[in-house]
Amino acid sequence: MTAPIRLKHVTLLAGSTLALAIATASHAVDFEVGNTTASVYGYAKLDMIYDVDNDLGNLAARPKIGLDGEPSSDGHFNTHAYQSRLGFKTATPMGGSNLTTMVEVDWFDNAPEGGDLRLRHAVGSWNGITAGKTWTNFGSLLGKTPTIDLAPQPGQSKVGRKAQLRYSWANWHIALENPDPDDYTDGVAASNPSAKKKVHGDAKTSLPDLTLRYQNKTAGLHYSAAAMVRQLEVEEINGADDRATGYGLNLAARYPASDILTLRGALTWGDGIGEYLQNNPSAPGYWDGNSIETVEAWGVNVGMSLAAGPGAINLGYGISQADLDDAYANGFATGDGANEQFQAVHLNYIWSPIQRVSYGIEAAYHTREVVDGRDGDAVRLQGMVKYSF
């Protein structure tokens, strides 16, 4: 294989990040400016939500699930258009390779409430190097079952975007990622490891997170394997300080079992993994007064999509669980109940009567369990209307 061909292959693989990020935006308004091909894409989406039990917000915030025996308010209707999306992308031949860029926004900042403009992607790629904010390099979207609710199923790798510098070659991708992204409060919990927003006041980030992913396909099976390592650190002024290493592993796959049936699944595990496990009930660790104690967590999700008429029936299940036994025994996982496990089942039908128009209906069952054994559940019914361009 000649050097120019190798260069093109690397560039194509690096550009797959952008292709994946806009995979749901199959329609676009394309135009050319000089030798640059540009596209504007997006959609307007209306979500209509009825929570049979507690109000879970504009997306399903599972920590809001009421525990059995606690006072709760049942029956809440809500409708919003915050997931509506607008994006702009370009492709320009440069130095024997394509320079690609993408900027994408929606109005789901301050989730789960939403309503404020949010930067989803701002990323470019050239010659195997990807830089900006886009999907994290840890894990993949292969195991993600389509849902109408914007909240992804628990148990898979983080379905989110992080500022990063990534290099891709062949089927390998390595990245340095922001350890404390703007859209997620992570770090070392001051005491209660399930209280992600109660970050220790002297927690610091002195190193980027390191992620590595291998992704390939064979005989129709798409699969990926990924690893992550990070540093957690607390440096108290005139006091104790400590560092701890967090790490995580992820396997994901998608397989077309037939012309009409697609199967998906993912397995995620780590110690100090924190946000890299989707819907992790716990922060990556907690401060016990003298040192950082990392928290082990794991998750699994499986799903299927069955083509039916003008659309597809999607069924998915996910679970994420953190090991808080030691924290609970030592008095650090207390308060109003440290979350230890989340589960979710989604069943929906999404269809398109004509191009660029999508409708959908969904029923979801969510559960929450806290470290002292109490639990609760919630049912959410949701519909959508989406017009794409």
- Structure confidence by residue, pLDDT tens digits, 15-59: 444 444 434 445 688 888 889 999 999 999 999 999 999 999 999
Question: Residues 197-215: what's their mean pLDDT?
Answer: 87
Asked whether the beta carbons of 247 and 266 are under 8 A apart, the reply is no
What are the pLDDT digits (tens) for 66-80?
A: 998 888 889 999 999
> Residue 385 in 3-state DSSP?
strand
Bridge partners, 252 (sequence order)? 224, 266
Residue 50 carries which side chain, given as an amino acid letter? Y
**pLDDT value, residue 1:** 45
Question: Residues 278-295: what's their mean pLDDT?
Answer: 89
Mean pLDDT of the chain: 88
Question: Residues 184-189: what's their mean pLDDT?
Answer: 61
Asked whether the beta carbons of 102 and 121 are under 8 A apart, the reply is yes
Q: How far apart are CA 191 and CA 233, in angstroms?
A: 15
What are the pLDDT digits (tens) for 106-148?
A: 999 876 667 899 999 999 999 999 999 999 999 999 999 999 9
Return the residue matching tokens 């390099």: 137
What is the signed CA dihedral for 89, 211, 321, 216, rounded to 10 degrees?
Answer: 70
Asked whether the beta carbons of 361 and 57 are under 8 A apart, the reply is no
Greater model confidence, 71 or 367: 367
DSSP state string for 120-184? EEEEEEETTEEEEEEE-SSS-STTPPP-SSSSPPTTSB--SEEEEEEEEETTEEEEEE-SS-TT-
- Assign residue 75 the CATH number of its domain: 2.40.160.10
Q: How far apart are CA 313 and CA 301, in angstroms?
A: 17
Give the containing element (helix H, strand E) for 250: strand 241-256
**pLDDT value, residue 186:** 56
**pLDDT value, residue 183:** 37
Residue 264 carries which side chain, given as an amino acid letter? R
pLDDT at 234 over 60: yes
**pLDDT value, residue 111:** 63
**pLDDT value, residue 182:** 42
Burial state string for 213-243 with b = 16 or more CB within 10 A and e = fewer than 16: bebeeeeeebbbbbbbebbbbbeeeeeeebe
CA 71 to chain centre: 31
pLDDT at 3 over 60: no
Bridge partners, 158 (sequence order)? none
Greater model confidence, 202 or 82: 82
The conformation of residue 57, written as its DSSP 8-state character, comes to T
Share of the chain above pLDDT 70, in %: 88
pLDDT at 93 over 60: yes
Residue 131 carries which side chain, given as an amino acid letter? A
338 pLDDT band, cuts 50/70/90, is confident
Question: Residues 183-192: what's their mean pLDDT?
Answer: 62
Question: Residues 172-189: what's their mean pLDDT?
Answer: 74
**pLDDT value, residue 237:** 65
Question: Residues 175-184: what's their mean pLDDT?
Answer: 71
Range of the domain at 233: 3-388
**pLDDT value, residue 308:** 98
Kindly report the backbone phi and psi dihedral angles of residue 180, in degrees, each rounded to the nearest multiple of 5, phi listed first: -145, 75
Question: Residues 151-166: what's their mean pLDDT?
Answer: 95
**pLDDT value, residue 230:** 94
What are the pLDDT digits (tens) for 40-51?
A: 999 999 999 999
DSSP state string for 333-361? S-TT--EEEEEEEEEEEEE-SSTTEEEEE
Asked whether the beta carbons of 274 and 294 are under 8 A apart, the reply is no
**pLDDT value, residue 187:** 66
pLDDT at 287 over 70: yes
pLDDT at 240 over 70: yes
Bridge partners, 146 (sequence order)? none
Kindly report the backbone phi and psi dihedral angles of residue 276, in degrees, each rounded to the nearest multiple of 5, phi listed first: -70, -15
Asked whether the beta carbons of 133 and 139 are under 8 A apart, the reply is no
Number of folded domains that form the chain: 1
Question: Residues 263-284: what's their mean pLDDT?
Answer: 94
Bridge partners, 375 (sequence order)? 369
